[in-house]
């Protein structure tokens, strides 16, 4: 008789352990479904551009290429920009800028107008290589990013720069830029 009770006790113990295992598995699965999934923290784009500038040093428009990167979270972000603009005449004058600063952007469907305030460093190469000097600069930008594809943005931008300490009264180029960027949108929670 003792053997029969032990068998029933073993069976009841096995059933109890099975119920506990099923309950704990079902609870962990239910909790996994209720937890939000990981999301990317920022909206990122990296691109290249072509600029035409009206430099107040030469009488010619200077032109060149550049690249930029924007990291946004909501309506606020950070912009990093580089431009290399050359005089097409044989003076060998160029303006090279490295800029960074905050950006404010709003999204309206495929259009994202923005404004930026940038600080940076500008390198100016004087005619015929007489000198190559660097100056601090301040810039105000405004433009719009246009989503032409979920991963591709086209940019149109206007920028005004003020180079400090440039003789005799500072350098104040303004430029128009057209660019194309690869866009990495923020992650969306999955259901």
Residues in a beta bridge with 61: 54
Class of residue 173 by CB neighbours under 10 A (exposed 0-12, middle 13-18, buried 19+) = buried
* pLDDT one-digit tens code per residue, 51-87: 999 988 888 899 999 999 999 999 999 999 999 999 8
Q: 170 is written with which tokens?
A: 């500072």
Dihedral class, residue 63 (left if φ above 0, else alpha if ψ from -120 to 50, else beta): beta
pLDDT confidence of residue 9:
55
In 3-state terms, what secondary structure has residue 154? strand
Assigned fold of 43-184: Porin (2.40.160)
Domain boundaries, the chain: 1-35, 43-184
pLDDT digits (tens, 9 = 90+) for 6-52: 455 566 666 655 555 555 554 444 445 444 454 558 889 999 999 99
Residue 12: phi and psi, rounded to 5, are -65, -40
Could you give the CA distance from residue 46 to residue 81 in angstroms, rounded to a whole number?
10
């Amino acid at each position: 008789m003792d053997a029969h009770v032990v068998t029933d006790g073993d069976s009841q113990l096995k059933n109890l352990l099975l119920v506990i295992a099923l309950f704990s598995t079902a609870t962990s699965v239910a909790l996994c479904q209720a937890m939000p999934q990981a999301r990317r923290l920022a909206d990122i784009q990296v691109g290249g551009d072509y600029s035409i500038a009206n430099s107040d040093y030469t009488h010619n428009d200077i032109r060149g290429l550049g690249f930029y990167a924007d990291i946004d979270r909501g309506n606020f972000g950070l912009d990093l920009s580089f431009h290399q603009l050359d005089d097409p005449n044989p003076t060998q004058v160029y303006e090279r800028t490295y800029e960074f600063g905050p950006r404010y952007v709003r999204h309206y469907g495929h259009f994202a107008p923005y404004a930026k305030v940038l600080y940076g460093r500008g390198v100016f190469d004087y005619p015929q290589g007489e000198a190559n000097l660097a100056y601090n600069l301040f810039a105000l930008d405004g433009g719009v990013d246009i989503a032409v594809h979920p991963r591709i943005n086209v940019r149109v931008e206007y920028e005004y720069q003020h180079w400090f300490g440039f003789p005799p009264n500072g350098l104040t180029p303004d430029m128009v830029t057209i660019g194309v960027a690869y866009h990495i949108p923020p992650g969306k929670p999955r259901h």
